Amino acid sequence: MNGYLASLTLEAQKRIWRTFRYSLALDPLVLQS
């Protein structure tokens, strides 16, 4: 069960990070700073 929760957390972190990078790519002001 512990490994299952750890894998869920890892997947959630990767999904959040991917969304974060995608939002940065759409914001030229953030890329310039």
- Residue 13: per-residue pLDDT: 95
- Residue 10: per-residue pLDDT: 94
CA-based Rg of the chain, rounded to a whole angstrom? 14
Q: Which domain holds residue 21?
A: 1-32
The residue with tokens 């512990």 is 2
Give the pair of three-digit tokens for residue 10: 């890892």
Q: Is the pTM of this model over 0.75?
A: no
- Residue 31: per-residue pLDDT: 63
Domain count, the chain: 1
Q: Could you list the pLDDT tens digit for every one of the 33 residues in the chain?
A: 689 999 999 999 999 999 988 888 887 776 675
Give the pair of three-digit tokens for residue 31: 């890329």
7/19 Cα distance (integer angstroms)? 18
- Residue 23: per-residue pLDDT: 85
Give the pair of three-digit tokens for residue 16: 């959040």
